[in-house]
Chain A
Amino acid sequence: MTAYVRPADLAEATRVLADHPAWMILAGGTDLMVHAQHQPVPVGILDLWRLPGLGGIDARQRDDRSWLRLGAGTTWREVIADARVQHALPNLVAAAREIGALQIQARGTIGGNLGTSSPVGDSLPVWLALGAEIELRSVHGTRTVPYADYCTGYRKTARGVEELITAVWAPVPATGTRLHWRKVGTRKAQSISKVMAAAALALDGDTITAARIGLGAVADRPIRATAIEAALVGRRLGDDAIAAARAALAIAPITDVRSTAAYRHDVAANLIARFVAA
């Protein structure tokens, strides 16, 4: 029989995980239930659905910066409905809107998407572009990890086996920052991504002063296009920036049943080019 625990609070959740690090962590269930009948039965399930202390979106000040702290149990519907997120992180809202159908958006959570860490996870490139940090908690304490350092391989992350993802900290972009998002899926809705790109561009007039670009579905994990980011600094939006971005794109996507390497490469280039167009 599979053990099942639905903890009352975060403290209990971390205690259960400390005692049973091999248990399956269930957030919304939208990933886990799909594969349930094709996977070995788990030894135990730690169900975090609607765990007090894991939800909520708060404005915080930290390190002299403004942040939005999004609880890991926040669903995509809650992300979409939140006025502060709509205002500060419109590309996150845009990504959330394209996740699954309404039913999936009502169950799927920020933490679940991070925990699964699929290379096609729909929210993940946005966290890269925003410079977000992941808050992890265990019985030993709490720490934050820059999301750029979080994914360590194909469905591998920096999360320790006793750690729970408790929140994402997203810095509120400075006024005038251009935020972008585009998902290219197998169809217009309820689709697995073939290519995703997210960007945050800091500007002085029409000159790019800093850039963060996240890409999804083009590598074994969500990746930052660091070479392009560097190449864009000092470039003017438009042909200048487009040429620099195209020249600096260095990705090696795969061909699979959903798309081709050539397509993913070309479209990733096109999406970034569109972001830096005048």
Chain B
Amino acid sequence: MDSGTASASRRVTSEAVGTSLPRVDGIAKVTGRARYLDDLDAVGAWHGVTVRSTIPHGILDGLDRDPAFDWTDIVVVTAADIPGQNVITLIELDQPALVPVGGTIRHVDEAIALVAAPTRARAFAAARAITARVTPLVPVLSIEDALTGPIQLHGADNVFKRFAIRKGHATDGEIEAALAASAHVIDSVYRTSPQEQMYIEPQAMMAEWREGACHVTGSMQCPYYVHKAMKPLLDLHAEDVIISQTVTGGGFGGKEEYPSMIAAHAALLAKVAQRPVKIVYDRDEDIAATTKRHPALIRHRLGLDALGNPTVIDVDVVMDGGAYATLSAVVLSRGVLHAAGPYKCPVVRIVGRVVATNHPPHGAFRGFGAPQTTFAYERQIEKAARLMGADPLAYRRRHALRAGDTTATSQVLGYSVATDEVLDAIEQCAGTPPVRDGVNASGAPVKRGRGVCFYFHGAGFTGSGEQRLAGRATVALAAGGRFEVRASSTDIGQGAITIFTQLAADGLGVDASRIDVIDPNTARVPDSGPTVASRTCMVVGGLVEAGAKLIAARIRAWAESVGRAGSIEDLADDAFGALGPIAETTQYTPPPGIAWDDATYTGAAYPVFGWAACLVDVAVDLDTYEVAIERCVQAVDVGKAINPAIVKGQIEGGTLQALGWAVLENVVYKNGKVANATMTNCIVPTFADAPELETIIVEVPYPFGPHGAKGVGEIPMDGPAAAVANAVALALGVEFDELPISPEVVAQRLGGQS
């Protein structure tokens, strides 16, 4: 369970930033040498399995153990075994680690007991030998039920959190008056579906107690989130909780908050079993129990004057938070902050609510609320363009924000606004739109259409989040002429180790092969903040670069003081002899002039935005009603591509996830339980489902990001679904305002026989 390091294996001769340095972790991963949690075996480790509820809402009256089962080598843990507070600490303190006897079950896959055994098979058998006695209660299983039904799950109105953004004359009366005075009002209701992250490595965690300290290691995005959750649960001091990340096979937000739950379970089992305990979720369990993208219901009213200029935007966003608050408030926040889109409009009202239901909690997923509201506003803008008889790209260009314009939160955009760059990029490669009627390779008639969208995504934490986090990262001089980067940012497949290597190398002025990025471990790295919000490169990468420059300066100062000349590479080993393992830890400071008011939701919602435009050509098969994506072009402004190959990979991956969400992905709930909790039925796109993705990297630098870089991880997820819907609407002459645009939905909307 010890940490290791990763270092660049290939020497590069020029500066590292801006080159596609091969992934530092790449060879180990493609050769199978990388060791994921399930590959690790601690001596004497047992296997843990979770006993879950079978009803979505009710009272846990008791837990019965089958007397016929042989319990001799089994450890059972219930809420009564928790040494500290029975809570998974996050924004709210509402979610227990285990439902206590007498407590309320709030979703169908909630943990009610834990078992550990020497083998996985024995643990599964023991879990089956525990029966819950329950008193069922009527569940709340939809947004509508939560808002208008009689069951109260949270407070008086089932609302976990609400936000309101108002710009211009935006009292409720003024909004209605502005809509009434508009020449046109586009008034539509949009629905988006839950989505599963489907990281390739299921959730996995191992815990071990040594000398009163709890060591937890596993697959995660945010070691310090887990650390924060373990302290009150286990009643331990900070230094007695040590959290480390193992090689992680994808996260997409799914390993942001949920790992705290599995860590809690593994730690509790390990404490009672007095040996290491490993919990590795089955895929089916992972799909059923862990967080999904929030389903959303959005009413969007867009008022236009006679010339087609937006005069008022009024959006009502409701998201299904599921059984516990988890990160829903923050997801909703990002959702509402993007809901007006990157368009000029003098009067804006955006109201957002996230409600409690008896679904498993919805949580973090790439895009984090923005894909839902982006789908709505880019459908609205499309409808406006068509209503005005305008070219869709030209209409967007006319009304898009530029530097000097204000957003819905009255943030004045000062710099790094890439509206024209991304729209130009799309326009230049667009070519001729497809002919509407045709035949596909199966011999079926098709209707083709082209859709576009234009969108933005705030980089980094919302509002004053980055200031509150005060993320830190360290660069240190090590023996042998090497340097260490210490940050809690995890590499979850997105390339963090490689990016940090490049930024540190150039900050120091050394070759990338001299850099070791330390595996995140709360005993060895500072809290850099969580690995979320497209902030790892822009924020933490900036700290790494700053720390590297400080170390280089200290080496140069030492060299000067002893009359030595030469490069940092030449000096490093001797400097280490003279100075020892000097380290520089830097802390985030916001760019100048950034102000955000949480009370009124006005000001700089984000220090900077990424900008993007997308073009999609679709062909709808009139025999099968399947929507085939025949072409997809994304132009994404990332400020600066520190590693173009990694940036391209991020854009392609996010785009494919968005295309899947648009036409085929869905999580189907039946009585509060995921009905399609298998990879067979909870499908994600394959290569056969996507065209060759055309990616255009646009670089309009952010003055306060490392080398001008801003976020890239999330933005490609936001826009493509709207572009697909816009294309299908054009192809078929029917509006599609709900996701997914599945063949079944298309068939129904076309009224059967083609």
Q: Which residues of A are at the interface with B, using a C-beta cutoff of 8 A?
A: 182, 184, 186-192, 194-195, 246, 257-260, 262-263, 266-267, 269-271, 273-274
Contact = CB atoms under 8 A, between A and B. Distances in A.
A266 B668 contact: no
B683 interface: yes
B676 interface: yes
A258 B680 CA distance: 10
A186 B681 contact: yes
Interface string B660-688: 00001000100000011000110101111
B752 A262 contact: yes
A120 to B, nearest CB: 10
A187 B754 contact: no
Interface string B613-657: 000000000111110100000000000000000000000000000
Contacts of B680: 192
Contacts of B688: 187-189
A189 B752 contact: no
B466 interface: no
A189 B444 CA distance: 18
A257 B685 contact: no
B681 A192 contact: yes
B352 to A, nearest CB: 31
Interface of B: 442-444, 622-626, 628, 664, 668, 675-676, 680-681, 683, 685-689, 743-744, 747-748, 752-754
11 contacts: A186-B664, A186-B683, A187-B664, A189-B686, A189-B689, A191-B683, A192-B681, A263-B743, A266-B747, A270-B754, A274-B623
Most buried by A among B675, B683, B685: B683
Given A262-B748, A263-B625, A270-B622, 16 more contacts: A182-B623, A186-B664, A186-B683, A187-B685, A187-B689, A189-B686, A190-B686, A194-B743, A195-B624, A257-B668, A257-B681, A259-B744, A267-B624, A267-B747, A270-B444, A270-B623
A271 B442 CA distance: 10
Nearest to B754: A270
Contacts of B685: 187
Contacts, number: 68
A273 B688 CA distance: 26
A187 B686 contact: yes
Nearest to A270: B623
B681 A188 contact: no
A257 B754 CA distance: 24
Contacts of A186: 664, 681, 683
B661 to A, nearest CB: 13
* Cβ-closest 10 pairs across A and B: A188-B688, A189-B688, A270-B623, A263-B744, A189-B686, A257-B676, A188-B689, A184-B624, A186-B683, A257-B675
Most buried by A among B625, B664, B744, B753: B744
Contacts of A188: 628, 686, 688-689
A258 B683 CA distance: 10
A216 to B, nearest CB: 14
A189 B752 CA distance: 25
Nearest to B687: A189
Contact of A267 (B443, B623, B676): B623
Contacts of A270: 444, 622-624, 753-754
A258 B742 CA distance: 11
A260 B442 CA distance: 22
B747 A263 contact: yes
A77 B675 CA distance: 33
A241 to B, nearest CB: 15
A262 B747 contact: yes
Contacts of A262: 744, 747-748, 752
A26 B668 CA distance: 33
B689 A182 contact: no
A123 B403 CA distance: 60
A257 B744 CA distance: 12
A67 B598 CA distance: 78
B693 to A, nearest CB: 15
A267 B744 CA distance: 10
A194 to B, nearest CB: 8
A198 B623 CA distance: 15
Nearest to A260: B744
Nearest to A195: B624
Contacts of B752: 262, 266
A269 B754 CA distance: 11
